[in-house]
């Protein structure tokens, strides 16, 4: 299925160096903000108080958030837990204030606005748990990176594996750079979004790499730059359909999902936008700089025609 068909290849690789410089500067800025400002970690990572309260009627989450925020808590998570009447509240740790004191203060404020509220559970999540979650998150990220490299090295060629990993890490670091610069809260949901972006971004790279390999088999007279330009141009319609439909769903979560899903959807939005960019101007360009050529991807086989029309699906087919 295609919305449109571009008859003339767009010379993406002609400006690859310029876009790679822009990518490097953006990547360097993201690293700089991560080092100097760091991530604004949520309660799951830093430790704090976990409260579960229950109402006799479905709880108004915005009202609960407003009540807790009036006590001076800026980094608080409020969400339904189980049923619409049960609410889970995560409070950041405060120096010199115990978990019991925090929960008593919050519960008293909640009772003033809704006398029917009752405390069902109160726990302190220590920073040691947060350290374990951070370590597990880094391990998961490392395993994803290694798995992607092994998969691409077997399916295509090691140059494509290296190019894809650079492109994917480019997306991940830039997402983290945004969160560090704006000091948005980095929670487990955001970590899940980052891992999702890794898989989503590599899928776009694989589509382009697969078309590059197919073009090397079809068009013997085209050089590497022309092969890559044709591969990217011929997949633009597919890219718009896939990423457009995904972005519509993510934007619906961003706009209507409420505070619980806001940063999760925001991370996905940034990742999808940069994932498209990195697949074209980072992954494909790095593969070109690494010197990928026909011999790397075409193992044996005779070419039926020399060159031919790049838009002819039967031109230069391998037999």
| Superfamily designation of domain 12-39+130-297 | Multidrug efflux transporter AcrB transmembrane domain (1.20.1640.10)
* Angle, vertex CA 134, rays to CA 179 and CA 171, nearest 5: 40
Task: Name the nearest CA neighbour of 33 among 179, 190, 195.
Answer: 179
Q: CA-CA distance, 293 to 101, in Å (whole number)?
A: 67
The CATH number, out of the four listed (3.30.70.3400, 3.40.50.1000, 3.30.70.2340, 3.40.50.2300), of the domain defined by the range 48-125: 3.30.70.3400
Domain boundaries along the sequence of the chain = 12-39+130-297, 48-125
Scanning 38-187, the segments in alpha helix (DSSP H) are: 43-46, 61-69, 99-113, 127-155, 158-182
Average pLDDT over residues 299-313: 49
* Res 25: pLDDT: 94
Q: What is the pLDDT of residues 46-74, one digit of tens each?
A: 778 889 999 999 999 999 999 999 998 87
Residue count (the chain)? 319
Q: What is the pLDDT of residues 238-256, one digit of tens each?
A: 888 888 899 999 999 999 9
Q: CA-CA distance, 208 to 231, in Å (whole number)?
A: 6
3-state secondary structure at position 41: strand
Predicted confidence (pLDDT) at residue 87 exceeds the cutoff of 60: yes
Average pLDDT over residues 15-20: 89
- Min mean pLDDT across 121-135, 181-195, 220-234 is at 121-135
Quote the pTM value.
0.79
């Amino acid at each position: 299925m295609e919305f449109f068909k571009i008859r003339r290849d767009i010379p993406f690789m002609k400006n690859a160096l310029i876009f790679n410089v822009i990518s490097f500067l953006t990547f360097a800025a993201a690293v700089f903000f991560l080092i100097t400002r760091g991530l604004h970690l949520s309660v799951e990572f830093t430790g704090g108080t976990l409260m579960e309260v229950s109402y006799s009627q479905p709880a108004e989450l915005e009202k609960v958030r407003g009540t807790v925020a009036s006590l001076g808590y800026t980094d608080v998570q409020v969400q339904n837990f189980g049923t619409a009447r049960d609410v889970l509240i995560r409070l950041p740790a405060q120096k010199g204030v115990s978990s019991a004191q925090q929960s008593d203060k919050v519960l008293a404020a909640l009772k003033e606005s809704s006398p029917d509220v009752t405390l069902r559970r109160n726990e302190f999540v220590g920073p040691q748990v947060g350290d374990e979650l951070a370590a597990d998150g880094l391990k998961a990220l490392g395993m994803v990176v290694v798995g992607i490299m092994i998969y691409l090295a077997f399916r295509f060629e090691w140059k494509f594996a290296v190019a894809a990993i650079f492109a994917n890490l480019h997306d991940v670091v830039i997402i983290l750079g945004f969160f560090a610069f704006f000091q948005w809260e980095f929670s487990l949901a955001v970590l899940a979004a980052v891992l999702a972006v890794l898989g989503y971004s590599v899928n776009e790279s694989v589509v382009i790499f697969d078309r590059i390999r197919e073009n090397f088999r079809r068009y013997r007279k085209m050089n590497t730059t022309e092969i890559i330009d044709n591969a990217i141009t011929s997949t633009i319609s597919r890219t718009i359909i896939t990423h457009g439909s995904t972005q519509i769903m993510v934007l619906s979560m961003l706009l209507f999902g409420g505070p619980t899903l806001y940063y999760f959807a925001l991370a996905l939005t940034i990742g999808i936008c940069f994932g498209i960019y990195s697949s074209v101007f980072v992954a494909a360009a790095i593969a070109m700089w690494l010197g990928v050529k026909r011999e790397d991807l075409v193992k044996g086989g005779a070419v039926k025609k020399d060159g031919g029309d790049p838009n002819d699906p039967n031109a230069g087919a391998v037999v």
